[in-house]
Amino acid sequence: MISGYLITILITIVIYAMLAHSLNIITGHAGQISLGHAAFFGIGAYTSAMLYTGAGFPFWISVPLAAVVAGIVGALLGIPCLRVRDDFLAITTMGINFVVEAIFLYIPFFGVAMGINSINLPKWFGREVTKPEYLILLLVVMVLLFLLDRWMGRSWIGLAWASIREDEQAAGAMGVDVVRFKVLAFILGSAIAGLAGGFYAHFLTFIMPQNFGFGQSIVILCMVVFGGIGTRWGPMVGAMILGVLPEVSRPIMEYRILIYGVLLLSMMRFQPGGLLGRESILPKVFRRYFYRLSSLE
Amino acid sequence: MSLLEVTALSKEFGGLRALDGVSFTAGGGEILGIIGPNGAGKTTLFNLISGIYPPSAGEIGFQGESLLRLRPHQISRLGIGRTFQIVRPFQNLDVETNVLVAFGHRFYPSLWMSARPFRQPEILKEVQTLIERAGLLPYAKQTAKNLPLGFKKRLEIARALALKPLLLLLDEPSAGLRFEESAELMELIRQVRDQGIGVLLIEHNMHVVMDLCKRIVVLDHGSKIAEGSPEEIRSNPLVIQAYLGKEV
């Protein structure tokens, strides 16, 4: 049987994978940089936690509602973001993150610095789900999200996003409604982050404003960039590697943020496409390796 | 009623009058040349027609309907395709995907239709035909940024044609091209015209303009100073003055 410790790490990694995956929709597919993604993670976590502890909604309703609320807020906050581009967008989204965190931290309704506690794991068949079961539930959701992403990527929506990412003005001249497709990316990315927030709250059983700060946004962005921004698998692979690293070695844990920072910097310098991105060194190394193998025979 | 009817069109940027009361009409199946020295307002005119920014005054009618309150994607869906003076292909997408983006114009209006897969056999076939017409078939899978300038320009035309346009706005298609490249492009533009599509052509190369256009509009400092056949334009003293300056 796998230990509880391992299960906890695996669940955390799947939640990070969902977050990286959702940020990839906004930043990777539609090309809109966001430095405040943790805000929507937090909005989802707080929505789900408050519906559960305050209004007595069961997990199975509070978590989907967390996604809906985060999606709606994402749409509302996406509208001011439509008027700005590139570095201004980065600063605007960063500001959104600080505002959302401050609201959780200073408004008594949201439990101030203590956050919200006594959130529980969901129940099914008359009992609470075990952690391995929760992990399986999360993995099923992750697979569904992955299939959704693949379907979007093969649809006109994915194509419209790609054109906006490449050149907004040319996209408009080709009949792409830039505003509508940008808002769609913000809604979808925020909703999935909200969903991850709901899962996170019910797993951790207590949440605090600090969990959803700017630092968290940067961690998520690191995972996306490290794995390969805009690729389908990259963000998940990034979440897995950067999620496991601190667990396998204590020193890495202590200098986690420093190491993420250095990784982000060196990826930007040497491998801007990420591990699985186009022109990455990884496929080249593989090719050379197999070439050598075949020439030995 | 002509295809495009521009009436007293003006555009001011701050205090600068980029376009000042310009009027003309353009019809299907003809190439209307738009010439003028640098800064005459030619590209501004294109940006107004394609809805990139609104005019300060005047009216633009397309098939009898006003384009004034429409945004770029709505105007392109009505059947006005364009290319850009500084080429703007989708750099990291391949040639085929570049053209596909424009094919989506009939699906983007409905979210439901947009969710359908874009790789449909009948659409891919149409894309192939367009790419072939533009002479880019061997490069269908090449990333746009790796293409030479002449190919990028042809790609932009193929992409605009995917909108099934009634009117095509071409902004200096031959600029920066070698003679042979330019000749191939002219042939493509002629074919487009013969299909019944109206073409507005901004061009600095006088050989190209005189060769392709039956009618030419000349702009200078934002105003229309002449309109007529190539012969009339060539002998018009105002035009000569605009290009060569006044005798001292």
Residue type, B52: I
Which SS3 state, helix, strand or coil, does residue A73 take? helix
Q: Which helix (H) or strand (E) holds B209?
A: helix B206-212
| pLDDT on residue A283 | 66
Cα angle at B130 between B128 and B135, to 5 degrees? 90
* Measured distance CA(B179)–CA(B187) in Å, rounded: 12
For B186-211, b where at least 16 C-beta lie within 10 A, e where not — what string? bebbeebbeeebbbbbbbebeebbbe
Domain chopping of chain B, boundaries: 4-244
| pLDDT on residue B1 | 61
* Measured distance CA(B33)–CA(B244) in Å, rounded: 19
Cβ–Cβ < 8 Å for A44, A70? yes
Look at residue A282 and tell me if it is in a domain. no
* Measured distance CA(A150)–CA(A29) in Å, rounded: 11
DSSP string, A194-212: HHHHHHHHHHHS-B-GGGG
Percentage of chain B surpassing pLDDT 90?
A: 78
* Measured distance CA(B5)–CA(B26) in Å, rounded: 7
pLDDT (tens digit per residue) in A162-177: 999 999 999 999 999 9
* Measured distance CA(A125)–CA(A240) in Å, rounded: 31
Place of tokens 């995956």: A21
Dihedral in degrees, nearest 10, Cα atoms A198, A19, A133, A115: -40
Helix, strand, coil shares of chain B, percent, nearest 5, are: 40, 25, 35
Of A152 and B245, which is predicted with more confidence? Answer: A152
Of B18 and A87, which is predicted with more confidence? Answer: B18
User: Quick one: average pLDDT of A245-260?
Assistant: 79
Q: How far is A185 from chain B (nearest CA, A)?
A: 13
Cβ–Cβ < 8 Å for B48, B19? yes
| pLDDT on residue A115 | 83
Dihedral in degrees, nearest 10, Cα atoms B139, B144, B147, B152: 100
Residue B243 has pLDDT above 90, yes or no: no
Cβ–Cβ < 8 Å for A202, A17? no
| pLDDT on residue A276 | 80
| 8 Å CB contact of B105 and A151 | no
Q: Which residues of A touch B (CB under 8 A)?
A: 151-152, 154-160, 162-163, 166-167, 169-178, 181, 184
Closest CA to B134 of B155, B152, B148: B155
CATH code at position A54 = 1.10.3470
pLDDT (tens digit per residue) in B136-151: 999 999 999 999 999 9
Look at residue A239 and tell me if it is in a domain. yes
Domain that holds residue A187: 4-257
Give me the residue from A151, A170, A175 closest to B108, CB to CB: A175
Give me the residue from B51, B105, B118 closest to A174, CB to CB: B105
As a three-state string, the secondary structure of A214-280 is: HHHHHHHHHHHHHHCCCCCCHHHHHHHHHHHHHHHCHHHHHCHHHHHHHHHHHHHHHCCCCCCCCCC
Helix then strand count (H, E) for chain B reads: 10, 10
Which SS3 state, helix, strand or coil, does residue B194 take? helix
Percentage of chain A surpassing pLDDT 70?
A: 94
Closest CA to A175 of B218, B108, B18, B55: B108
* Measured distance CA(B188)–CA(B160) in Å, rounded: 13
Phi, psi for A199 (deg, rounded to 5): -60, -40
User: Quick one: average pLDDT of B164-180?
Assistant: 91
Looking at beta carbons, which residues of chain B come within 8 Å of A173?
50, 72-73, 76, 81-82, 160
Q: Which CATH superfamily is domain B4-244 in?
A: P-loop containing nucleotide triphosphate hydrolases (3.40.50.300)
CA distances, B29 to each of A119, B86, B161, B198, B199 (Å): 70, 26, 14, 5, 7
Residue of B nearest to A155 (CA): B117
* Measured distance CA(B197)–CA(B30) in Å, rounded: 7
| pLDDT on residue A163 | 96
* Measured distance CA(A198)–CA(A50) in Å, rounded: 10
DSSP string, B74-100: HHHHHTEEE--SS----TTSBHHHHHH
ipTM for this prediction: 0.91
Q: Where are the beta strands (DSSP E) in A30-175?
A: 123-124, 127-128
Looking at beta carbons, which residues of chain A come within 8 Å of B111?
157, 184
Q: Which residues of B touch A (CB under 8 A)?
A: 50-52, 71-73, 76-77, 81-82, 84, 88-93, 97, 100-102, 104-105, 107-109, 111, 113-119, 159-160, 162-163
* Measured distance CA(A252)–CA(B67) in Å, rounded: 60
Give me the residue from A167, A177, A178 closest to B88, CB to CB: A167
Look at residue A274 and tell me if it is in a domain. no
| pLDDT on residue A287 | 67
What count of other Cβ atoms lies within 10 Å of the Cβ of residue B21? 14
pLDDT (tens digit per residue) in A89-142: 889 999 999 999 999 999 888 888 788 888 888 888 878 888 889 999 999 999
| 8 Å CB contact of A173 and B77 | no
Give every CB contact of residue A231 below 8 A, 6+ residues apart in sequence. A24, A28, A274, A276, A277
Residue type, A199: F
Q: What DSSP character marks residue B24?
A: E
Look at residue A262 and tell me if it is in a domain. no
Of A151 and A261, which is predicted with more confidence? Answer: A151
Split into its structural domains, chain A has a count of 1
Give me the residue from A157, A158, A167 closest to B90, CB to CB: A167
pLDDT (tens digit per residue) in A7-50: 999 999 999 999 999 999 999 999 999 999 999 999 999 999 99
| 8 Å CB contact of A175 and B113 | no
Q: What DSSP character marks residue A155?
A: B
Of A149 and A107, which is predicted with more confidence? Answer: A149
* Measured distance CA(A119)–CA(B124) in Å, rounded: 52
Q: Where are the beta strands (DSSP E) in chain B?
A: 4-13, 16-26, 31-35, 57-62, 65-66, 80-82, 167-171, 198-202, 215-220, 223-228
pLDDT band at A292 (very low <50, low <70, confident <90, very high): low
